[in-house]
Amino acid sequence: MSASDSIIGAIGRTPSVWLDRMVASRGLEGRILAKLDYLNPGFSKKDRAARGIIDAARADGSLAPGQTVVELTSGNMGTGLAIVCSVLGHPFVAVMSRGNSPERARMMTALGAEVVLVDQAAHSVPGEVSGADLALVEDAARRITAERGAFRANQFAHPGNAMAHFDTTGPELWADSDCSLTAFVDFAGSGGTFGGTMRALRQRNRALRGYVVEPEGAAALAGQAVTHPGHPIQGGGYAMAELSLLERGLAHDFLTISGDTARQTTRALARQEGIFAGFSAGANVAAALDLLAGPEAGGRIGVIICDSGLKYLSTDLWSDG
């Protein structure tokens, strides 16, 4: 592999590993293929979407040379945008809820971003970002975009997000599995990873089934009543009933995972497989294990290891484990 001209060229083409130890320890039949997107330069899968959105916006002229970029983030998208914008000469403003772990803000600042922290909604819990918290961050992001004449990256709606996963994540997963995947599972954040990856996988296997994962008590996409909008799985599960990038028609079913199950599975992922990941990766693997114990028994399921456990050192993900 030849050297890249910048760190942007190192985004994507992450390795994949089979989680055979976790599967065997539970007496299950089948395999889980984990794509290690925490090995991207910004330590998360959002590097792909950041590059996809900025490349598309520069190409169509909606982002002018040197123009400021603004986006709401739980930290991962902001880190990806901080990297891409720094290299391409765009000032970047990250707007984030104080409910997210502080490691994320520090990393974005170190990468040259201006970080605006937004207070949580009344009765919200630090470390648990709800849809109400996200709405406050959205309001702040809109205001700052207007004040600065900035380009809004808009990860929840910009087609460059899903297209990045269609162009890269899906084809990579399929090739890494030796063209053997029978299902794909993904925790719902912006919906771009699921929508783009599933479109690519379905082009290669029309029978491949897709499963969307939501937090227990906040499964709005599945049409369930929202009883616990606050949960520890940062970066998604905002109890939003619609995500335009998700492509519902590609979802065979919707699954729920509790915060505690995600936590325990993330810890098991570290101890059994040596993969030091975050909450949403644990949710993905837990859902895949449930599927191997049920309707996908004997199958081969693809999952994304969304981000690094380093971004959660101040949370209870590791503190009492």
If phi over 0 gives left and psi between -120 and 50 gives alpha, with beta otherwise, what is residue 5? alpha
DSSP string, 66-132: T--EEEE-SSHHHHHHHHHHHHHT--EEEEEETTS-HHHHHHHHHTT-EEEEEPPPTT-BTTB--HH
Closest residue by Cα to residue 235 from 153, 161, 129, 164: 129
Distance CA 183, CA 284 (A): 12
- 35 tagged catalytic: no
Distance CA 167, CA 158 (A): 15
Distance CA 73, CA 235 (A): 8
Instruction: Please pick, among 16, 177, 280, 308, the residue that the annotation labels catalytic.
Output: 280
Which DSSP helix (H) or strand (E) runs through 303? strand 300-304
- 311 tagged catalytic: no
End-to-end, the C-alpha distance of the chain in Å comes to: 39
Residues 115 and 109 sit within 8 Å (Cβ to Cβ): yes
Residues 189 and 77 sit within 8 Å (Cβ to Cβ): no
Instruction: Please pick, among 35, 45, 46, 311, the residue that the annotation labels catalytic.
Output: 46
Distance CA 307, CA 39 (A): 8
Beta bridge partners of 95: 72, 116
Active site residues: 46, 280
